[in-house]
Amino acid sequence: MLTWTFPTTELRLMFGAPPRGARTGLWDPTADDGPAGLTLDDVHAALVPGTPDPRVLERVAQAPHLRFVQLAGAWHGGLAGVLPTGVTVADARGVHADGAAELAVGLALAQLRGIDDAARRMTVQHWSPAPGRVGSLTGSRVLVVGAGAVGTEVVARLRAFRASVTVVARTARETLDGRVHGVDELPHLLPRADVVVLAVPLTDATTHLVDEDFLAAMHDDALLVNVAHGRVVDTDALVDELGSGRLRAALDVTDPSPLPPDHLLWRAPNALVTPEVGRRTPLTAARLTELARRQLTALLAERPLENVVAGPPVIPLLDL
């Protein structure tokens, strides 16, 4: 009997009755207790909640018969080697794309139109538009760094605002929607961008992609929007630029995360911070459980799993 664990009762209930040959259980590996009503020996597959964390995967790895881990977020290089060899890992690419893209556009609009300042002024009942904050997505030159699921959805939404959109990926290529530029072209593209949206996965190559040189290449009063991962940005370099008042930033992800109460980003001029809410939409849980059902069905049928980022894509039932 294949046992798949969910981190919350809500997700387990949404999943419903498992297919024949499988059972579901509850186990939140971010908590201190073990699987509810099960032992670690019972766990063959687990859905891991939230942003992937090596410490969480280390707890999951304690299950001796673990063969499959479904991440609820994106895979990143810092997770490599945490799980035993032979354990298959799949990420949740595409599940959060709509929510992250929607928030990216919302953050850009809030900053460009001064909505964040207006919200702060409401608390002191002050009727006055913020000086120097008038902007618009319409007609803006937007550079989207990342051409995956999130980046693709960001581009689709920006085009509805009639923005001029340029896309950057790891390598340059021609697509049906136009040219995708290579990351090596960033030094030439950044000075022309009014808004830069980060939508890349975290890898060795993208860690601190946004460093002093990247930020220095952005023109004065340009806006940086990050819905990718906090570590894509060198936080110290960004704080320095924001402190000078030269750039603006809207961040749903930060490094460190959560952001400590005394961190300078909270008080940085021209900064808007949200607490990783881009992936929290009514559709997220439904799409995640749909993905989990497809994965469990594939496991039972010994078919290739979706979104595999580590380990074999097919797991023989004899190994379960």
Residue 121, pLDDT score: 87
Predicted confidence (pLDDT) at residue 101 exceeds the cutoff of 80: yes
176 shares its domain with 269: yes
201 shares its domain with 68: no
Distance CA 236, CA 271 (A): 14
Extract the tokens encoding 215.
Answer: 């930020």
Q: Which residue has the higher pLDDT, 90 or 77?
A: 90
pLDDT confidence bin for 319, thresholds 50/70/90: low
192 shares its domain with 262: yes
How many domains does the chain divide into?
2
191-217 residue pLDDT tens: 999 999 999 988 889 999 999 999 999
90 shares its domain with 212: no
290 shares its domain with 265: no
224 shares its domain with 286: no
Residue 144, pLDDT score: 98
Please name which of 305, 299, 306 lies closest in space to residue 320, comparing C-alpha atoms: 299
159-168 residue pLDDT tens: 999 999 999 9
Residue 44 Cα distances to 41, 87, 297, angstroms: 8, 10, 14
Average pLDDT value for the chain:
93
266 shares its domain with 250: yes
Please tell me the least confidently modeled range out of 3-7, 56-60, 86-90, 117-121: 117-121
Q: List the domain range (segments joined by +) for residue 291.
A: 2-95+281-319
Extract the tokens encoding 263.
Answer: 């961190």
81 shares its domain with 133: no
Residue carrying structure tokens 């995360």: 257
81 shares its domain with 101: no
Is it true that the peptide bond before 35 is cis, omega within 30 degrees of 0?
no
Any idea what the CATH number is for the domain that residue 133 is in? 3.40.50.720
Strand order through the sheet with 2-6? 22-26, 2-6, 45-48, 68-71, 88-90, 308-310
**What is the arithmetic mean of pLDDT over 263-280?**
92
Predicted confidence (pLDDT) at residue 130 exceeds the cutoff of 90: no
241-269 residue pLDDT tens: 999 999 999 999 999 999 999 999 999 98
